[in-house]
Every structure is written in structure tokens, then in C-alpha cells.
Amino acid sequence: MILAIFVVVLLSGLAIGLPVAYALILTAMALMYHLDFYEAQIIAQNLLNGADSFPLMAVPFFMLAGAIMNAGGLSQRIVNLALTLVGHIKGGLGYVTILAACILASLSGSAAADAAALSALLVPMMMKAGHSRGRSGGLVATSGIIALVIPPSIGLVLIGVTGNISITGLFMAGIAPGILMGLALCITWWLLSRKENIQPLPRAEPGIVWKTTVESFWALMLPIIIIVGLRFGVFTPTEAGVVAAVYALLVATCIYRELPLPRLYLVFLDSAKMSAMVMFLVAAALVSGWMVTVAGLPQQVTAMVAPFKDSPVILMFIIVGLVIVIGTAMDMIPIILILIPVLLPSVIAAGIDPVYFGVVFMLACSIGLVTPPVGAVLNVVAGVTRTKMTDLIVGVWPFLLAQCLLLLLLVLFPQIILIPYKWIMG
């Protein structure tokens, strides 16, 4: 009965157009009425507790860092570096997109921000070279979601906070699968582009390569600072967000000097609006999460999946399938906030490493961002490039299939994530 009330009220709220945060609060109220202890002060107190989280402060700082990078010239220099390194290869602009996406992913942690930057910079170049608009946009969209797996991923921060999982561990475990996502896209692009008769860009002169590398040096230093600092305990993930934002601000304003004061104000304002939206959503999710725990819903779900307790691979397949299906109709953040508290006890009971589970869950969520009909990142690319959604869906499916196959491998062979993770963590 508890599970039915939770699902019906939540889906009904979303169906009538309620924002996800209000639908979550409504769900908590319904569970309170059912358990006969409704108290408005409990809702208010949990809302405050939901936003009052030191680890969660990493989210607004990483969002601010990503916005500063895009506005301050760091993203442009990363793309220029990728152009000089691999632009001369056949289908080189596709490899440029993937390489630039992997580097930007280690800077911003936001799939939408990376996809928007790459769409504006590279899709016109790819179309001018002869690639179709839909395929170019599809590659950019699936490259953008790498930012959700490679640290510093905002999604992994939310999973860590919601599930009480080590955020540093999630960051370190996300490095290997994030690189594999890029390799999967490279292989797919190679299979597609070898049939195209497109003239590659001329090879850059050694002097140009050196000059571009030097110009991008300060942007490239940021992921190194973050990963090394986290690995050796110099700072926490929240402090890493502050370091990223301050470093990006200094580079954009004092070294590259491409972020004037009036534009900086707009960057801060937009980041504050996005952060407020995310924080309120997280706070609302804690209200429903608290009620879910009080009502014993995780125990009910654990009992439902008990037959799969001795088969972690099957359990992970069920969870991944559930996340992908829900991801076609719901955004990443509410999926994390709703499902992690419900599913994590079952995962732990089955003996699955929570860090491994968090990374696989994140990859499944990221696939939902490029899956119609919602596909938030698809919509970003469509808006920036003015591409019809139907053309974009046709162009994205080969790359989406590649990411799904990689997800399948990670479920079948958890050591692909766990071995590099344990090696990095020592």
C-alpha cells in the first residue's frame, strides 16, 4: 500500500504539471496522512535540513565554475587544442568533439553546459565540412553526457549526498568509465565516418600546436588540481568546488581577460538561479525521502527484489533498465533523489559495492538525457543548433547504442570500474 501511494501520488502530481519539487512534497504529505501523523513543522524542518548540507555546497560552486569557463574563454581554448591535435585526421572534427568533451567534462561537471558550448563551437564547423546536422548534433549530445561520469560530476555529488556514499570515491571511480565512454564514441564515429568522403582539416604546424598548447595550459591545469587534491586529501569535494570556481574566475579575468565585469554579473546571476532550483529540489526530495524511510518503503523494495539477492548482475540489470525507462520521461536530478534512497538498501543487501552502483546508476541516468521524448541534453543541442528534433534523434541513435553497449559491459563485468578505482585509491 505504501509503495502504491508513493508511486500514484508522485506520478499524478507530475501528470498534472506540478514541478518535481512540489510533487515530492505532495507525496510526503500523502504518506503522512496515510500513517496518520501529518505535521506541517516536520515538512518545514526537513526542507531546511535538506538544504543544510556541507557536501551539497559543491553543486553551486561547480555550476559556477562551469559557467565561468564557458564565458571566460577556457572552453574555447580546449576546443582549439583538440582541433590542432586531431583535426587533421579523417573525420577529425568528430574526434575533436569527443576529445574536447572529455577535457571539458573534467572542468565543469555539467552535461548541459558542455553540450551547449560544443554545439555553438563545433556543429557549424562540422556542417561546413560536410557532416549532416543531425549526426553532428547527435555526437555532441552523447559527448556532453560524459561530464556526468568524469569528475567533478554534479550528478555524482548528488548521488553521494543522497545515498551517503563517498563523493571522492565516486569521483575516482568515474574516471575509467568516463574515458571508456569517449573511446566508445570514437569507435562509433570511426565506423560511420570512414564511409564519408569528407576532406579533413590541414595538419597544424608544430609552432601552432605549441602555441595552442601553451594557451590552453591554464585551463588544463584545473582537472589536474582537482583530481590530485581529492586523491591526496588536500581538500574535500566541497572545497574542490570552491577551488574550481575561484581558479576559473582568476584565469578568465586575470590571465585570458575575456570576462568583463558586466558579463561576470550575469554569470553569477544565472548560476545562482540554477543553484537555487537544484537546492530546493534536493530539499524537497529529503522531505519525501524521510517519509519513505519512516514508512518502510526501502524494506518493502528490498523484500520485492529478495529473489535476486544472490544474483547481483540480474539485480543491476533490473535497476539499470528501470532507470533508463524512467529517464525517457524524467530528468536526471529527480531520478537520483527519488530512486537512490529506495534502491540503495537493496543494493547493499545484495553485496554490491555502493561506489560501483553509484557510477553505473549515473551512466544510466546520463543515457536518459539523450533519450527522447524528454532528453534534456538533446533539447539543449536542438535549441543551440536550431536542429529539428526528428533529425537529431536519427543522428544520435548510433552513439546512444554505443553507450548502452558500454553500460551492458559495466554491468556484466564490474571489475572494469572496480580495478582502476581501487588502483587509484591505493
Q: Is the pLDDT of residue 367 over 70?
A: yes
Contacts of 373 (CB under 8 A, 6+ apart): 328, 329
Are 302 and 349 spatial neighbours (Cβ–Cβ below 8 Å)? yes
Q: Is the pLDDT of residue 73 over 70?
A: yes
Q: Give the chain's mean pLDDT.
A: 83
Q: Is the pLDDT of residue 400 over 70?
A: yes
Dmax over CA atoms of the chain, in Å, equals 74
Amino acid 21: pLDDT: 78
> Residue 293 corresponds to which amino acid?
T
**Interior angle at CA 372, CA 109 and CA 388, nearest 5:** 95
Distances (CA, A) of 372 to 221, 330, 341, 378: 36, 10, 26, 8
Question: From CA 95, how far away is CA 126, in angstroms rounded?
Answer: 11
Are 405 and 188 spatial neighbours (Cβ–Cβ below 8 Å)? no
Amino acid 14: pLDDT: 73
Q: What is the 3-state secondary structure (H, E, C) of 89-146?
A: CCCHHHHHHHHHHHHHHHHHCCHHHHHHHHHHHHHHHHHHHCCCHHHHHHHHHHHHHH
Domain definitions of the chain by residue range? 2-425
Best CA proximity match to 15, nearest among 325, 329, 323: 329
Three cell numbers, residue 172: 575516482
Three cell numbers, residue 144: 556532453
Residue pLDDT, tens place only, 214-248: 888 888 888 888 888 887 888 888 888 888 889 88
**pTM recorded for the entire structure:** 0.84
Residue pLDDT, tens place only, 85-137: 877 777 788 888 898 888 888 877 778 778 888 888 888 888 887 888 888 88
Q: Is the pLDDT of residue 153 over 90?
A: no
Are 203 and 21 spatial neighbours (Cβ–Cβ below 8 Å)? no
Residue pLDDT, tens place only, 259-288: 887 888 888 888 888 788 777 877 777 777
- Binned at pLDDT 50, 70 and 90, residue 169 comes out as very high
Q: Coil, strand, or helix at residue 28? A: helix
- Binned at pLDDT 50, 70 and 90, residue 180 comes out as very high
- Mean pLDDT confidence for 374-391: 81
* Cα 179 from chain centre: 14
Q: At what angle do helices 58-71 and 237-250 cross, to 10 degrees?
A: 20
Question: From CA 66, how far away is CA 170, in angstroms rounded?
Answer: 20
Residue pLDDT, tens place only, 313-362: 888 998 898 888 888 767 788 888 888 888 888 888 888 999 999 999 99
Task: Give the dihedral sign, CA 423/182/77/396.
Answer: negative
Q: Is the pLDDT of residue 1 over 70?
A: no
Q: Is 353 exposed, middle or buried (0-12, 13-18, 19+ CB in 10 A)?
A: buried
Are 61 and 242 spatial neighbours (Cβ–Cβ below 8 Å)? yes
Question: From CA 6, how far away is CA 392, in angstroms rounded?
Answer: 35
**Interior angle at CA 156, CA 153 and CA 157, nearest 5:** 90
Higher-pLDDT residue of 64, 108: 64
Amino acid 373: pLDDT: 67
